[in-house]
Amino acid sequence: MSLLQRVKNVVRSRSIHVCFVDVGSCNGCDIEVLATLAPRYDIEQYGIYVHNNPREADILLVIGAMTPQWEDKLPALWERIPEPKAAIAIGNCPISGCVFQRRDTYVSAPVAKFIPVAAEVPGCPPRPTEILSAILSLAPTVFKDFEERRR
């Protein structure tokens, strides 16, 4: 392993930028993602920084059951995220559509039809601790030795 790769591994393990996008949920998962910012859960002590800029993000949190408006916008947003990147589906909605995947609905779940989803956190909504542990357990598998593995 090269020295550069080792430095990158160390830096990336404590610096994860997260962007969250709501593609049509009931807002319940949004507020649980916001609750991870609270000093009780304190997402920033693990080096995770939540902001909504896809061009700087490493991890995309997808919330919601995929409404028609997002079908072209979500892949475009995914393209803007620089490599290495990963998407996490938060809640039941992006996994299966939850209660919205019924007759006469407008949504077209799952989100995995549109972008590659690396991890799924089921729950309606999942607890903030579960969201936090999903990001923390996914990060090393995506970011460790990224350049060497790609070669």
| Residue number, 4 or 34, with CB nearest to another protein | 34
| Residue number, 68 or 116, with CB nearest to another protein | 68
**Cα angle 142-74-81, degrees, rounded to a multiple of 5:** 40
| Residue number, 8 or 91, with CB nearest to another protein | 91
DSSP 102: S
Tell me the closest approach of the beta carbon of residue 116 to another protein, in angstroms.
Answer: 19
DSSP 80: H
In three-state secondary structure terms, 59 is strand
| Residue number, 70 or 143, with CB nearest to another protein | 70
Residues binding another protein (CB under 8 A): 19, 21-32, 34-35, 37-40, 51-54, 64-65, 67-70, 73, 77, 98-100, 102-107, 124-125, 127
Nearest to 60 by CA among 87, 33, 82: 87
| Residue number, 98 or 138, with CB nearest to another protein | 98
Tell me the closest approach of the beta carbon of residue 49 to another protein, in angstroms.
Answer: 12
Tell me the closest approach of the beta carbon of residue 42 to another protein, in angstroms.
Answer: 9
DSSP 119: E
Indicate if the alpha-carbon torsion angle 61, 138, 34, 14 is positive or negative: negative
Tell me the closest approach of the beta carbon of residue 147 to another protein, in angstroms.
Answer: 28
Tell me the closest approach of the beta carbon of residue 118 to another protein, in angstroms.
Answer: 20
Nearest to 141 by CA among 151, 130, 149, 132: 149
